[in-house]
Structure 1
Amino acid sequence: MKPERQAERSVEMTLGQLRKLDAPAAPSQPTPLTLEDLYRAHRMRLIRLAILLVDEQATAEDVVQEAFAGLYRNWGKLRDGAAAVGYLRTAVVNGSRSVLRRRKTAREYNPPHQVNARSAESLAMLSAEHQAVVGALGQLPPRQREVLVLRYYGGLTEAEIAEATGISKGTVKSTASRALEALQQILNASR
């Protein structure tokens, strides 16, 4: 198996497992109609998405809270209920980017420190191989991590990833390819 394909399979299995763990229960109503319904149905999945992007649970929760606050402020401007989930996903990606930019700026002035704030439950539910993949994801550049997380955890198409991240579909494809190559190198180096 090609190294790139092996990395893709590892990412797909790991983030697919997380997606199954976070899958919302079958809705009792077709589409959430209120902000409270949206919060109940999507909060945990959005937090997991943010954790995979910013690698810190408390910060991820803040990003998601800000996304919901932004949705509340713009609730009257939404074209339909389905657009709310897309709005939230985009807001989480953009909020995560802002956090990473601020973190980078802060690190220029202070020596960086490693904090792994993942919950014990989330790591305990993953095998050692899956933990290695999640650790390797944390070593990728932010855009590469975003694309892989949105693809394999978020289950988004290239077009949806392009929309959520504000980059072209071609850039999504090339970024994913480079990310999988880099991930395979990280995984091989850790073995």
Structure 2
Amino acid sequence: MSVRTATADELLPVLHAQWTPLVRLATLLVDDPETARDVVQDCYEAVLRLRPEVAGEDHLTAYLRRAVVNRSRSALRRRHTVLRYLAKLRPHTAPPADRDVLTAETHRELLGALDRLPTRQREVLVLRYYCDLTEADIAHTLGIPAGTVKSTAHRALATLRRRMEDGSRER
């Protein structure tokens, strides 16, 4: 497998093909379509500017996926800082109004439970069940051992099950 600097002509078809999957990934991680598009656009700009050394389309796709996860983390950190500041100014913030209209109740509850998971647990579940990545691919993307992926997914699924069961009992 030859690793070399990619040319713009080689990058553009992959970037075009991966736009929608990467925006979906970022949307699930940051829970905001506009921010997700910005995250992916920033990744694309960096890839075109830096021209990373890649060993083919699969390697470039994995590189982009990892970049999106990292930039999503940064976006969440920035959002958290802003929300902490705004919380001091406003005592209560409401969830987005269109979320209830656009999503079925069970789906909405699941997304809410997913949003409340710790960042790493949410990332592992999104990469596993939305992106359909293997444990090895998730470990590579997040830079963690495969055993950590397994245990993190197990804890996250147990937490989601418990929260969904508790929510269904309250009705």
| TM-score when normalising by structure 2 | 0.80
What are the within-5 Å matches in structure 2 for residues 25-174 of structure 1? 34-75=10-51, 77-111=53-87, 113-116=93-96, 123=102, 128-174=105-151
1:62 is displaced (CA, Å) by 0.5
Query: RCO higher in 1 or 2 (8 Å CA, sep ≥ 6)?
Result: 1
Q: Say which SS state the counterpart of residue 132 (structure 1) adopts.
A: helix
* C-alpha contact 1:57 1:118 (8 A) present in aligned 2: no
Q: Say which SS state the counterpart of residue 117 (structure 2) adopts.
A: coil
* C-alpha contact 2:29 2:123 (8 A) present in aligned 1: yes
* C-alpha contact 2:26 2:36 (8 A) present in aligned 1: yes
> Percent identity, aligned pairs only?
46
* CA 1:176–1:117: 2 relative to 1, 3 Å: farther
1:181 is displaced (CA, Å) by 1.1
**Residue type of the partner of 1:156?**
L
* CA 1:38–1:162: 2 relative to 1, 3 Å: same
Q: Which whole-Å CA distance do the structure 2 matches of 1:172 and 1:83 have between them?
A: 20
* C-alpha contact 1:158 1:169 (8 A) present in aligned 2: yes
1:81 is displaced (CA, Å) by 2.6
* C-alpha contact 2:100 2:108 (8 A) present in aligned 1: no
Other-structure match for 1:22: none
- Give the gaps of 5 or more residues in structure 2: 1-8
Q: Any idea what the Cα deviations from partners look like across 1:23-70, whole Å, max 9, x if unmatched?
A: xxxxxxxxxx63331232110111110010000111000111111112
Matched, 1:176 2:153: yes
**Residue type of the partner of 2:145?**
S
* C-alpha contact 1:55 1:117 (8 A) present in aligned 2: no
Q: Any idea what the Cα deviations from partners look like across 1:119-158, whole Å, max 9, x if unmatched?
A: 899x46xx54333322321121111110000000111111
Q: Which whole-Å CA distance do the structure 2 matches of 1:40 and 1:79 have between them?
A: 18
Q: Say which SS state the counterpart of residue 67 (structure 1) adopts.
A: helix
Q: Which whole-Å CA distance do the structure 2 matches of 1:158 and 1:145 have between them?
A: 14
